Structure 1
């Protein structure tokens, strides 16, 4: 069956936002006299639980922290780190090729619409997508709900769609919804286990979309 739709995760896949978020959290932990264990980060990456998990872990090491006071500080630091961030290398080529071929495009992200949509606009890629599905309206990954919603929005069967992910949680979500899944890990996630993915690419530049579709 020919490929009729591509569904992309956002954080870490279309843009390497995860590196900035991780850096911000590492700085917060160090400011409170401790290090953020990467194992704790990997346990929640790609889900909706990152922020509450990080605050809960920080509170174990610094019981007197004012979580509500820290929220805007952490958020501001993340946005400062993201100001000059662009799409991951090769992403624009994939989006352009899909547009030329008439392939539908969607974003399926566990993050909120208030996070994803402004970043898509800032990156200049929002116009490529026919649908943007987010975790404030659907169950977060690894639940398949986001991908099922994307298929419904694009009116496409799972067998005719390919998902692109950068975390094992995301791969689990896509596979549970029946999609072929291409893992494209970033510097933060490249050491994780992507055994569930159908294909693992070191980057979007490693294989053009035309070559991927011809498999």
Structure 2
């Protein structure tokens, strides 16, 4: 069955926002005299539980912290780190190739629309997508709901759709929804287990979209 649609995760896949978020949390922990264990980060990366999990873990090291007071500071720090961030190398080439082939495109992200949509606009990517599905309106990954919502919005079937992910949680969600899934890990996630993915690429530049679709 020919491919009719592509669905991309946002954080870490289209843009490496995860590196900035991780660095911000590492700085917060160090300011409170602790180190953030990477295994704790990996346990929640790609889900909607990152911020609550980080505050809960921080509270173990620094009892009495006020998450409401820290939240604006951590967000401002992340946004500062992201000011010069562009799309991941090769991601724009994939979107251009998909547009030329008439493929439908969507974003499926566990993050909120208030996070994803402004970044898509800033990166110049918003105009490529027919639908943007986010975790404030759907169950977050590894639940398949975001991918099911994406194929419904695009009016395609799971068998006609390829998902692109950078975390095992995201791959789990895509596969549970019945999609073929291509993992494109980033510097933060490259050491994780992507055994569930149908294809693993070290980057978007490793294989052009045409070559991937003809596989």
TM range (shorter): over 0.9
Question: C-alpha deviations, 1:18-56, integer Å up to 9, x for none?
Answer: 000000000000000000000000000000000000000
2:51 aligned partner: 51
Which blocks of at least 5 consecutive residues in structure 1 are unaligned?
none
Which blocks of at least 5 consecutive residues in structure 2 are unaligned?
none
Q: How does 1:166-185 map to 2 (within 5 A)?
A: 166-185=166-185
1:132 aligned partner: 132
Q: When the two structures are superposed, what TM-score results if normalisation uses the length of structure 1?
A: 1.00
Q: When the two structures are superposed, what TM-score results if normalisation uses the length of structure 2?
A: 1.00
SS in 2 for 1:171: helix
Please state if 1:122 is matched with 2:122. yes
C-alpha distance in structure 2 between counterparts of 1:138 and 1:182, whole Å: 22
SS in 2 for 1:133: strand
SS in 1 for 2:186: coil
1:204 aligned partner: 204
1:64 aligned partner: 64
User: C-alpha displacement at 1:204, in angstroms?
Assistant: 0.1
2:5 aligned partner: 5
Q: How does 1:144-183 map to 2 (within 5 A)?
A: 144-183=144-183
SS in 2 for 1:205: helix
> Runs ≥4 in structure 1, deviation > 2 angstroms?
none
User: C-alpha displacement at 1:66, in angstroms?
Assistant: 1.6
C-alpha distance in structure 2 between counterparts of 1:143 and 1:34, whole Å: 32
SS in 1 for 2:206: coil
User: C-alpha displacement at 1:67, in angstroms?
Assistant: 1.4
C-alpha distance in structure 2 between counterparts of 1:27 and 1:62, whole Å: 14
2:190 aligned partner: 190
1:109 aligned partner: 109
C-alpha distance in structure 2 between counterparts of 1:165 and 1:55, whole Å: 26
C-alpha distance in structure 2 between counterparts of 1:68 and 1:156, whole Å: 42
Question: C-alpha deviations, 1:83-121, integer Å up to 9, x for none?
Answer: 100000000000000000000000000000000000000
Please state if 1:39 is matched with 2:39. yes
Note the aligned Cα RMSD (angstroms). 0.3
User: C-alpha displacement at 1:181, in angstroms?
Assistant: 0.1
C-alpha distance in structure 2 between counterparts of 1:108 and 1:181, whole Å: 13
Q: How does 1:72-111 map to 2 (within 5 A)?
A: 72-111=72-111
